[in-house]
């Protein structure tokens, strides 16, 4: 998604990253990844539950797709950290328009399951067009 940060900004998309980790772990993540978007902490996981992001199944969390994603990161010089929180907590992507209407909602089945950024951009462009 970072590779498309300029495009996202030009389309008026405001990105926020949500985590359930502690403030200390969140700060380390921001520092390690040089995250420029706001990072919100949902320690009670209220937002996660509201968007149907429960716990993942072992195979989806630790299966081949995850290891392939980790290998791609390693090839780019970004080594994954050992999980500090709940590695089975599912994440996802939610696209909310300025009126508060959810336009895209994807709950990942594991760490490697994310929608293509182009598909999210397509939704934004359709709404703008």
Which pTM does this prediction carry? 0.76
In this structure, CATH architecture of domain 2-128: 3-Layer(aba) Sandwich (3.40)
pLDDT at 58 over 70: yes
What average pLDDT does the segment 98-112 reach? 90
pLDDT at 103 over 90: yes
Q: What is residue 71's predicted lDDT score, i.e. its pLDDT?
A: 85
pLDDT at 3 over 90: no
Tell me which long-range contacts 2-8 makes (C-beta under 8 A, separation of at least 24): 3/117, 4/117, 4/121, 5/36, 7/121, 8/121
Categorize the per-residue pLDDT at 34 as very low, low, confident or very high, splitting at 50, 70 and 90.
very high
19, 40 contact by CB (below 8 A): yes
pLDDT at 51 over 70: yes
pLDDT at 84 over 80: no
Residue spans per domain, the chain: 2-128
């Amino acid at each position: 998604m970072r590779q498309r940060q300029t495009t996202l900004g030009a389309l008026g998309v405001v990105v926020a990253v949500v985590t359930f980790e502690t403030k200390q772990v969140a700060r380390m993540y921001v520092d390690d990844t040089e995250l420029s978007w706001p990072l919100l902490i949902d320690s009670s996981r209220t937002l996660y539950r509201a968007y149907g992001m429960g716990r993942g199944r072992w195979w989806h969390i630790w299966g081949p797709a995850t290891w392939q994603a980790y290998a791609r990161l390693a090839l780019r010089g970004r080594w994954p950290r050992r999980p500090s929180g709940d590695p089975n907590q599912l994440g996802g992507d939610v696209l909310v328009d300025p009126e508060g209407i959810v336009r895209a909602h994807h709950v990942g089945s594991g760490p490697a399951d994310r929608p293509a950024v182009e598909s999210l951009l397509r939704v934004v462009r359709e709404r703008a067009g």
